[in-house]
Chain A
Amino acid sequence: MKYLLGVDIGGTFTDFVSFNQESNAVEVWKNPSTPHDPFDGVLTGLEQMEQIGDVQRLRLGTTIATNAILQRAGANVAYITTKGFRDIPFIQRGNRKAHYDMTWVKAKPLVKRRHCYEIDERVDARGEVITPLDEDEVRALAAKIRSEGVVEAIAVNFLFSYLNPAHELRLKDIFLEEAPDLPISISYEVLPKWKEYERASTTLADAYLKPLVGRSFDSMNKRFDELGLEGRVAVMKSNGGECSFAAAAAQPVQMTVSGPTGGVVASRALSKLIDMPNLVTFDMGGTSTDCATIINGEEKFTTSFEIEWGLPIQIPMIDVRTIGAGGGSIAWIDKGGLLQVGPQSAGADPAPACYGLGGDQATVTDANLVLGRLNADEFLGGKMSIDASKAHEVVKKVADELTMGVEETANAIVQIANNNMVGALRSVLLERGHDPRDFALLGFGGAGPLHINELVVLENIPHAVVPVHPGQFSALGFVMTDARTDKQRTIQQTSARFDSDGASALMKDLVDMAVNELRGQGFTEELEIYRNIDLRYLGQNYELQLPYSASEFTEEGLADMWKRFHEAHEARFNFHIPGETIEMVNLSTAVVAPSQKPELATLPKGSGSPPQKGERNIWFDSAFEASAVYDRADFLDGHRVEGPAIIREVASTTVLCPGFGARADSYGNLHITKAGS
């Protein structure tokens, strides 16, 4: 059982990485994805592996949950809530996506209003029951839903259940008695936090996914068995950890962002390996680009994800910012005569014009061809035929409209695309208060290495890294990850009045739940336990999260925590309010079962440059410049090349600008910095 496998089902390709634990060898391959049944593509790729019986574990990144939500292909859900409040999923928050867009149409929730039911019960803002649960009403409702046979899953969200879950838990028990076949999601178990709409939306998403995900994983398990796969099979969660198929099916909302987390996990591992604690990741593909940060060696988490604008899913997940822009983004001229790039994308159909599949609009990929940054003969190692003249033709159409030269126009397209990417980088850096100068940019995905050098210049990032296997980097991350469970709970305490015993007991409860969940999945090793607290000034409504390492809230620990909050507020917002009461809002824990990590092989030492494989004219700024061509596979530890240059590999191309140099480290990662630095 020597192989660890990572499989990433993407929009265009399914990527495979296998790691041989005996030889440290990494193999990567990809084959086309099969959107009608994504698991077909997985099996096709696995059939290429001869020693399938020798796989110790396989981890899968899947878009099954994401797609079910985006395509609205989930279950008929019933929503059960407190009397008087069945319209919360429809009222939402009342604001709109953009301030001057009268064409905007409000997002529809994942439930029909006719399937929303109210139960007589009420808990107040202190968690005290003011109206007991009407159990007869619950039983009658369960019977009605069961007999109608339309609803396939149940979502339950009572007001203030995060303070007192008794009614939700009791309702669940009654439904398990009366309608045992209906999957049920209760908000206390999905998202025990305040703000009823956000909790409703998250709980609805969970119930919406349950039947579909359960069925898919059952069928996948069977097919893996038939293939002879005996190792552990797991799926990637949005928090970057893995979990068993059974655990994922029990809370499918945890998988909303599964695939893109792999790139972040791999980046975290790389951050430690090459000792660069602050990274911003840039995963650019054909239609979308994902950005995230690694800060002090750790990935960042968020609870503000949205399915589409206005439909939040607030479970903790790796903070990946996705923008709908990539190599396929289309260039066009707006009514004011300004060149724009995207958000429309040529995608896989009709694809960029140069693919010759019928696309007749200029895309970023076409512009890169015109500029000589891509070479028509080298697409996917020469396996894909590309029509450079077609790229020239479509870019010329845009150029004529602008009365600009073709190359100047191609360059403008790339610059505007780069600026869109900068917007994404900015949203994870500056908008969160991070200075780009403290970071290195890590570029991967098919198109990331093409743009990375210009991006570091634009965003004042001093250092860029193109990792090994940039085209399959996410799948590599799956091989490297751990099992992880996150739990959170709202608590309402202040620095003026703090119940230490209560808070300690709640924290213990959360940790125990997370530990039991992992033990239940068969993890017997020692677990890593992390504790966090969310704090704010009394009166504020948003929190700063601080780590809290001790298991008990002692007097000294609290004093230190309040002090650290003032400091963190000053650091993040440039001010603090001395003497102000501080409110503790949420407790959370992350429990990790560390799994054995592959060690990447190191390269032999080299000196000088790898052999040059020719020369090519590449456009930078305002003219073509003769640029050296190198093969990535030729780089040894310490090899360095100077820009302008191109570094080729099968699934990607790295562009090195004039005035910059690239050096390979002992693992073969390329480090791009200003010449002479």
Chain B
Amino acid sequence: MDPVMMKVLDSTMVSICREMGIVLMQTSYSTIFNEALDFSCAIANRDGDMIACAEFCPAQIGGMPLMAKSVVKEIPLDQIYEGDVILHNDPYRGGLHTPEHTLFKPIFVDDEIRGFAVSIGHIAEVGGMVPGGFCGEATEIFHEGLRIPPVKIVSKGKDNEDIWRLMLANVRTPRYNFGDLRALISAVDLGERRMKEIYEKYGVDAVDQTCNDLMDYSERRMRAEIKQIPDGIYPFEDVVEDDGIEDRQYKIFVEVHKDGDDIVADFTGSAKQAKGPINATLGVTMSATYNALLHMTDPTIPKNSGCFRPIRVVAPAGTVVNVDFPAPEVGGNTETHPRIAGTVIGALAQVIPHLSMAAEGCTHGNFVFGGVHADTKEFFACYDIEVVGWGGRSFADGNDACDSINGNCRVTPVEVFEARYPWRVEDWVFREDSAGAGKHRGGVGYTKTLTCLNDEIIISQMTDRHKTQPWGLNGGLPGGMGATLFMKSGSSEWQTAVQAYNKNSPSKFSNISIVKGDRVQLVMPAGGGYGAPPDRDPEAVREDVAEGYVSADAARDIYGQRGADK
């Protein structure tokens, strides 16, 4: 083990991944890429182990190793050639959900494959039942868009035209999909080029050995962190409020077994799989468990597959945490993921509260829409991400308006949104008293109101926390719920999708036709509080009242602070 070489190679590979991400951001077409940054870039070895990644989307990073392994399983290494680019999105082959497109480019040195440059991106439009991918009422995977098993989209440096034609014929926005895929390819091209330079500079053996050392090193650091947690068995549970089809809750149950420097997350006892699209694949559940533990350990540990070695996941087949083919699962990756991660954090919070946080809003809004733009006559589709309040922590309030922990996405500016899509944003405001009260309060949630300017826009949504509150921790109160409300043109009443459109669920629905003048209001959940509200520093309460985050009534009734007037 050469510690200097390890440090050098790790930071070099991370900066390569970062450079790949910059190319993706700068060249992609969809706002979900270039504004929201819903993508990740990584380097894998030829066994499919991730050896480096940059600071992008945790859900994708945790899911990467399984995807890489499924590629290698289906396309043997001796059938992968220099200049190939392999595309893959199938959740039932280690993928996360159909919109998540993963590209692998082999890195060849001296005619031998050493590893892969990998880019993963959320492509907004994937065909299927609804424009924008998130079909809240899907009942099988075939509703959720085109499934792509590992195929060569580029073969020995040349576009595989048949694959492109087939794929682009099955989506609503071929020009955008083409641009986004070109950006993803450009990123792996760059990763491959840079990694070849690294191999040439340091030699194959030295690089491979150092990468193995790096994974061992990350494993050692994870084990050292895990060792600090008291041994024991820690249960916790939460629910997904419904599945878009039936109005009932789906339990996510975990027992975290901590023994020495190993951790087993056993999800036995979680609900049977749902008819609707809230199911998680095993890959998602593993990714969520990794995500929780990486959030609770030292953030400076190099992120590679070594981090995952001390962690085992038990998830019985046929449940919401390990769904059987061909059930739908698009929301498993965005909604059930943070719920799973949250249960692991909640379980361990019993013994390491200082490294935990109360529940965050646990959703990305996943508001999707499409239609034909009246000005351009071109079909548009958008996956709009909204952010939530984070949970309070032992040392700080939850962050206001912050992406749920399985993503690290940005909201799209109003000026970009209105220039691209025929909506008018009427307001975008924090909600007073939405944050879960506590010694450290939760992050505040917001409301955004949209008015339709097009003849028609077709909308769908796949979100949660409209009926269940994000939980507080150690005496902290739960955070405020979200909602999606509609006011039809000419009306002055806000209604849920259940009331206005006779849908099964207020938070998961498909293909609602919105017409000119209709309004949609997205209310995003806030975070739970940490610690009992009366323990909050009175000065912090006064400041929250002065800033309009907490009302004078709440300051008096919940925090017991008198005279905290505006």
Say if A and B assemble together.
Answer: yes
The interface of chain A, by Cβ under 8 A from chain B, is: 83-88, 90-106, 112-114, 124-125, 159-160, 194-198, 334-340, 402, 412, 415-416, 419-420, 422-423, 426-427, 430-431, 458, 460, 492, 537, 539-542, 569, 573-575, 577
Task: Decide yes or no whether B314 CB sits under 8 A from chain A.
Answer: no
Q: Is the CB of B547 within 8 A of A114?
A: yes
Specify which of A112, A336, A458, A540 is in contact with B301 (CB 8 Å cutoff). Answer: A336
Inter-chain contacts of A103 with B (CB < 8 A)? 299, 393, 395-396
User: Within 8 Å of chain A (Cβ to Cβ): is B3?
Assistant: yes
Query: Residues of A contacting B179 with CB < 8 Å?
Result: 537, 539-540, 577
Instruction: Assess A336 versus B411: contact at CB under 8 Å? Given A100-B294, A100-B295, A194-B419.
Output: no
Closest to B424 in A: A124
Binds A, one of B30-38, B128-136, B253-261, B487-495: B30-38
Task: Provide 21 A-B residue pairs closer than 8 Å at the C-beta atoms, listed in order of the A residue.
Answer: A87-B428, A91-B411, A93-B411, A94-B385, A94-B401, A94-B402, A96-B403, A97-B55, A99-B408, A103-B395, A112-B546, A112-B547, A124-B424, A195-B415, A196-B413, A336-B301, A422-B8, A539-B175, A541-B31, A542-B27, A577-B179
Closest to A97 in B: B55
How distant is A235 from chain B, measured CB to nearest CB, in Å?
Answer: 32
> A84-B426, A87-B428, A114-B548 are contacts. A99–B415 as well, Cβ < 8 Å?
no
A-B complex: 3 closest residue pairs judged by Cβ atoms: A84-B427, A94-B387, A539-B29
- Give the residues in chain A near B395, CB-CB below 8 Å: 103
Instruction: Tell me, yes or no, whether B61 is within 8 Å of chain A by CB.
Output: yes
- The answer to whether A412 touches B299 (Cβ under 8 A) is no
Q: Which residue of B lies closest to A335 (CB)?
A: B224
Assess whether A540 is in contact with B418, with CB atoms less than 8 Å apart. no
Q: Given the complex of chains A and B, what is the CA–CA distance between A338 and B395 in angstroms?
A: 28
A334 to B, closest residue via Cβ: B300
Residues of chain B lying within 8 A (CB to CB) of residue A416: 4, 7-8
Residue interface mask B335-367, A partner, CB < 8 A = 1: 000000000000000000001110000000000
Known: A423-B15, A540-B27. A338 touches B401 (CB 8 A): no
A94, B29: Cβ atoms closer than 8 Å: no
Smallest CB gap from B421: residue in A: A125
- Could you tell me if A91 and B399 are in contact, using CB atoms closer than 8 angstroms? no
Cα-based distance from A422 to B357 in the complex (angstroms): 36
Are B186 and A430 neighbours in the complex by a CB distance under 8 Å?
no
Q: Which of A100, A106, A114, A542 contacts B399 (CB 8 A)?
A: A106
Contacts of B414 in A (CB 8 A): 85, 159, 196
Complex contact B400–A336 (CB within 8 A): no
Cβ of B39 < 8 Å from any Cβ of A?
A: no
Is B166 positioned at the interface, with any CB of A under 8 Å from its CB? no
CA distance A337 to B395 in the complex (A): 28
Chain A residues with CB under 8 Å of B399's CB are 96, 104-106
A84 pairs with B429, CB closer than 8 A:
yes
A91 touches B401 (CB 8 A): yes
Report Cα–Cα, A339/B7, bound state, in Å: 9
Apart from A422-B11, A574-B189, what 10 extra A-B contacts exist at CB < 8 Å?
A87-B446, A91-B411, A93-B410, A96-B403, A99-B56, A105-B396, A159-B414, A196-B415, A573-B186, A575-B27
> Is there contact, CB below 8 Å, between A412 and B4?
yes
- Cβ contact of A335, chosen from B186, B221, B400, B408, cutoff 8 A: B221
Residues of B contacting A492 with CB < 8 Å? 419
Q: Does B18 contact A (CB under 8 A)?
A: yes
Residues of A within 8 A of B30 (CB): 539
Q: A98-B55, A100-B303, A101-B299 are in contact. Are A159 and B415 (CB under 8 A)?
A: yes
Q: Interface centre among A338, A415, A537, by most B CB within 10 Å?
A: A338
Q: Which of B4, B19, B356, B429 contacts A87 (CB 8 A)?
A: B429
Pairwise interchain contact B410-A91, C-beta atoms closer than 8 A: no
A99 touches B402 (CB 8 A): no
Please tell me if the beta carbons of A419 and B446 are within 8 angstroms of each other in the complex.
no
- Minimum Cβ distance to chain B for residue A87 (Å): 5
Q: From the candidates B7, B37, B408, name the one contacting A338 in the complex (CB within 8 A).
A: B7
Q: Which listed residue (B357, B405, B446) contacts A91, Cβ 8 A?
A: B446
Q: Give which listed residue, B4, B58, B221, B546, contacts A336 with CB less than 8 A.
A: B221
Chain B stretch 377-412: residues in CB contact (< 8 A) with chain A: 385, 387, 393, 395-396, 399-403, 405, 408-411
User: Once the chains are docked, how many angstroms separate the CA of A650 from the CA of B548?
Assistant: 58
Closest CB of chain A to B487's CB: distance in Å?
A: 15
Would A542 and B416 count as touching, CB distance under 8 A?
A: no
CB atoms of B61 and A92 under 8 A apart:
no
Q: B27 to chain A: which residues have CB within 8 Å?
A: 540, 542, 569, 573, 575
A128 to chain B, nearest CB (A): 12
* Interfacial chain A residues near B419, Cβ < 8 Å: 125, 194, 492
Say yes or no: B415 contacts A160, CB within 8 Å: yes
Tell me the smallest distance from the CB of B197 to a CB of chain A, in Å. 9
Determine which of B34, B298, B416, B427 lies in contact with A194 in the assembled complex, contact meaning CB atoms within 8 Å. B416
